[in-house]
Amino acid sequence: MRAEKGNIVIIGAGPAGSIAAALLNNKGYRAVILERDAFPRFSIGESLLPQCMEFIEQAGMLDAVRNAGFQLKDGAAFLFQGKHCEFWFADKFTSGFDSTYQVQRDRFDALLAAEAQRMGVDIRWRQEVVEADFSGEQPVLTVKDRDSEDRYRMTADFVLDASGFGRVLPRLLDLEKPSGFPVRQAVFTHIEDRIDDPRYDRNKIRIIVHPELTDVWYWLIPFSNGRCSLGVVGEAKILKVPERDPQAVLKQFVDAEPGLSALLHNAVFDTPVNSIGGYSANVKRLHGKGYALLGNAGEFLDPVFSSGVTIAMKSASLAAEVVDRQLGGIAVDWQKEFAEPLQKGVDTFRAFVSSWYDGGLQDVVLYQQQQPNIKAMICSILAGYVWDENNPYVKNSEPRLKTLVELCREP
């Protein structure tokens, strides 16, 4: 079996992997990405948050993203039983980017990977990591070429796992841990939406609560080409996929929401409907000797606030800084410099996700008499600025959110 060496080996060429590789490449390291698939490939999670733009800018990819023709996203709209409330990111509490994009992930991920390659990153397609040994002085990965079936070993100074839902190192190193969230499913597709309502704002994601089942919700994410991503999320026992055909389930739930059904009355369902279940995941630890876990390879909460790509890019940014110091001979503390800072933002998102499903946050975002300063603070969370501890709803998420819910529910 042949052997190779790489400065830093990154598993996965998605947003976390490409951003981390670009950041490390710009610091002078040889980053090698091992990607199991070939790009472009479908991925869910099309609605970015403004916080993402800061990490894209750090990596030197901002112009490429801005020039790609993606759909502008300037906020979010929430709807339930005739109630409607919009958030504009320009009104947020935290300074930073006021807009982002709604992207087809096959194009977006391929763009970031191509930018990383342009900078000099070595991306190896259709390479699957099948074994991982971290017992020696340096990590050693056994890699299978999925085309030739040949195997080889890669020795690295450090390994970053950005494999997303593939969760390569958590599987190989027995790091998996239950998430604590109920088992939910998402049923989704891309459609030609043909929306003709002049009041419809394509610059915002729509999050719509089911008219009767308040822990079931829909997303509608418009793209710049007249298509959109459409999905419904609920507990597995409610959606009953895969016992039922996913397309029948999706159409049944769309028909059950009058506003959504009317909006999509001309829509063409021309793409197979997919489903994913039990997607919430966690790990025993985010780092170990010679490795760190980025994005969904570490923890995934829920799609409701589109937090996945933001957390992935934040983890890439943090990890690149710590790896740089460590390989530069500086003593580092991965727990204090990577895991804990990352977890602060994840915990803020978790508090908001939990409150969403128990109905509290739904009352908050749809509250018509919300004070402007409070709404601005909530808007910052929705924009992904969950590491800004000047925001009280970041610093003390759970108690402040609980108090706010109580205020919004007062008669």
Say whether both 256 and 198 belong to one domain: yes
Say whether both 51 and 199 belong to one domain: no
pLDDT tens track for 49-78: 999 999 999 999 999 999 999 999 999 999
Say whether both 112 and 260 belong to one domain: no
Write down the residue that tokens 């975002």 correspond to: 365
Which of 344, 363, 380 is the last residue before a domain boundary?
A: 344
Say whether both 232 and 266 belong to one domain: yes
**pLDDT (0 to 100) of residue 361:** 94
Which of 344, 372, 400 is the last residue before a domain boundary?
A: 344
Say whether both 174 and 39 belong to one domain: yes
Q: Give the chain's residues under pLDDT 70.
A: none
For the entire predicted model, the pTM comes to 0.95
Beta strand 75-80 with 204-209 is: parallel
Residue pair 20/162 in contact by the 8 Å Cβ criterion: yes
Say whether both 104 and 196 belong to one domain: no
Say whether both 197 and 172 belong to one domain: no
Number of domains in the chain: 2
Say whether both 201 and 327 belong to one domain: no
| CATH code of 195's domain | 3.30.9.100
Is residue 381 a part of any domain in this protein?
A: no
Residue 57 lies in domain? 7-74+98-178+280-344
Say whether both 107 and 250 belong to one domain: no
Total Cβ atoms within 10 A of residue 120: 12
Is residue 106 a part of any domain in this protein?
A: yes
